Amino acid sequence: MTTLAPKPAGVDRRLLHRARGAAVFIGVCAALGAARTACVVAGAWLTASLIAGAFAGGRSLDSLAPQLIALAIVLALRALLASVQEAAAHRASAGVKSGLRRQALEQLMRLPSGKHHTGRTAALLVRGIDALDGYFARYLPQLVLAVVVPVGVLAVMLIAYPPAALIVLLTLPLIPLFGILIGLYTRSRAERQWEATSHLAHHFADLVAGLPTLKAFGRAAKQAGAIEVTTGSYRRRSMSLLRVAFCSALVLELAASLSVAVVAVTVGVDLVEGGLTGEAGLKTALLVLILAPEAYLPLRNVGAHYHASAEGLAAAEQVFAILGDTPEHAETASEPDTTGTAASALARWSGRGSTPGPETKPGSAAITASRTMRTPLGRAPTIMFRRTVFAYPGRQPLPELSLTVPAGQTTVLTARSGAGKSTLMAALVGFRQPVSGSIAFDDAELTDLDLAAVRRSIAWLPQRPVLIDGTVAENVRLAVPDGASDPAVAKAIAAAHAPAATRTVAADGSGLSAGEAARVGLARFLLRVDLLDPPVLLLDEPTAHLDSDTEQAVLDSFAPYRDQRTVLIASHRPAVRAIADREVDW
């Protein structure tokens, strides 16, 4: 877990840099802040003249009517500006949050699977990024107001009554000073709070995933105790953070109130001693008394909103950690991802078995996306593993392997179970990296290639294709990020002998037999191959759950797709071995 804490105050440049539109938003806040300051001053001046005119000047209500109307307009304008600022803040916040989510998701798609905990990452991208609302919608606008309002108010006070301006000038820094001290104190607490949140999310995700197993072994009820401990720790940390937030508000409130009291005493003494006399004197005294709290208010609010933003900033640090993560040679990417959105990336990789291809096959009208990305792989490249060694944490490394998969041929891997066949395939799409040795497509090392483009050039049918809640057709359609036509989906389903397009499927595979689920994965794979024409096909146990008749039918359907492509299949099945140009064992 990253141990970065949010800064005690200020503008996070990386957030602004990542968030297009945030700079415009700060500009809008500054303009609105200036307008609000003008309203504050005008409101105070009108209120002071109304009261002084009525009490010291003895004016009638009729003669004060224009000022009363002006005050009502100023107050309405002030409320309007506040709501415009609120709306702008929420709009900017929504834009920033969706931008960060998209960038983080796109980055996660590039990283090897399993690098980040699912539960923690889900909490980070949903709840964590949502917490940035406190920063963008509350803290940042207040920060701008905290600069603009005191300057404007002080300038007016300096003209109206310099002694009060001097007192405010001297006491004003106390508020940020206390704020910073409290911020330093809460810094680690905010981080611990976020840690507790993500731990809780991780725990729940783990528990829900393992619930069927726990129930099968009669251990589900025992988990209540563990949940109680985790939620108890979360509750304690939340309460502790809230306590600090309340105490800090109290301290800031106290400092501001004492400062205003000093101003009030000074003005009062001057009124009594005759320094301020008549209607003009009362007006000045009232103006100063009304304005003084306004100078402190935005600074106090900054302190209060800092706590609301701290959790979001702690989460943002972790998002930056993900964005700063170096995916396997992703930094070598030289071309933009033409599929663009995280949604399409998700769709692409949730159907992992079917990596997009480089370009549209001529006549494939079903494809709607523009695929301008050239493939870095030649047509049907030769694949070479050169003295590669793979290792999983806490396990003995797999034996060193040198292997050539000839171009345009079908190679069947028949090595024993656990020898590393699936690992080899995952490595070709960058989900695993060798600890030593190298992988090459023709003359190009995988580490020198644009990984996103490599993935587009490979179609991969994994051993256990990922399913989503929905119909068979929806599951198959995931193969193509921007959608495929109904006839294209129907053709792939028929070729894979998959269940009817309208059958419903659950993400855990329930609703389908293991063989049916495997054929849905195969249909997805074939759709991708059919529409996107990738030169490399990887199939991991494609017929594992099929009876021999269905297996033969599927292999017959697959035969035309093997032509002119480099095909790598992991299987021990005789029918699959029968289609091999070459078998490899180790």
Ligand X SMILES: Nc1ncnc2c1ncn2[C@@H]1O[C@H](COP(=O)(O)OP(=O)(O)OP(=O)(O)O)[C@@H](O)[C@H]1O
- Site of interaction with ligand X (CB under 6 A): 392, 395, 398, 415, 417-423, 463, 570
> Shortest gap between Cβ of 352 and ligand X (angstroms)?
14
CB 527 within 8 A of CB 539: no
Distance between start and end Cα atoms, the chain: 39
- Find the shortest distance in angstroms from Cβ 423 to ligand X: 3
Nearer to ligand X by Cβ, of 450 and 541: the residue is 541
As measured in angstroms, the least distance from the Cβ of 404 to ligand X is 18
Cα separation, 471 vs 401, whole angstroms: 41
Report, in Å, the least distance between residue 432 CB and ligand X. Answer: 8
Q: From the CB of 385, what's the least distance to ligand X, in Å?
A: 13
Angle at 578 between CA 576 and CA 581, to 5 degrees: 100
Rounded to the nearest angstrom, the gap between the alpha carbon of residue 512 and the centroid of all alpha carbons in its chain is: 33
d(CA 203, CA 8): 30
How many Cβ atoms sit within 10 Å of the Cβ of residue 102?
15
Question: What phi and psi, each to the nearest 5 degrees, are found at residue 582?
Answer: -155, 140
Nearer to ligand X, 218 or 393 (CB): 393
Number of H helices, E strands in the chain: 19, 11
DSSP β-ladder status, 504-505 and 470-471: antiparallel
Least Cβ distance, residue 436 to ligand X (angstroms): 16
Task: Identify whether the C-beta of residue 397 lies closer than 8 Å to the C-beta of residue 391.
Answer: yes
Min CB(420)–ligand X separation in Å: 4
Phi-psi category of residue 58: left, alpha or beta, with phi > 0 → left and psi -120 to 50 → alpha: left
Question: 6: burial class by Cβ within 10 Å (0-12, 13-18, 19+)?
Answer: buried
| Positive or negative torsion for Cα 130, 318, 191, 303 | negative
Please tell me the distance from the alpha carbon of residue 404 to that of residue 171, in angstroms, as a whole number: 76
Q: Letter for the amino acid at 496?
A: A
Closest contact distance (angstroms) between CB of 542 and ligand X is 12
Minimum CB separation of residue 446 from ligand X in Å reads 17
Q: CA 446, CA 451: separation in Å to the nearest integer?
A: 8
Neighbouring C-beta atoms of residue 148, cutoff 10 Å = 20
Q: Identify which of 314, 323, 322, 319 has the alpha carbon closest to the alpha carbon of residue 5.
A: 314
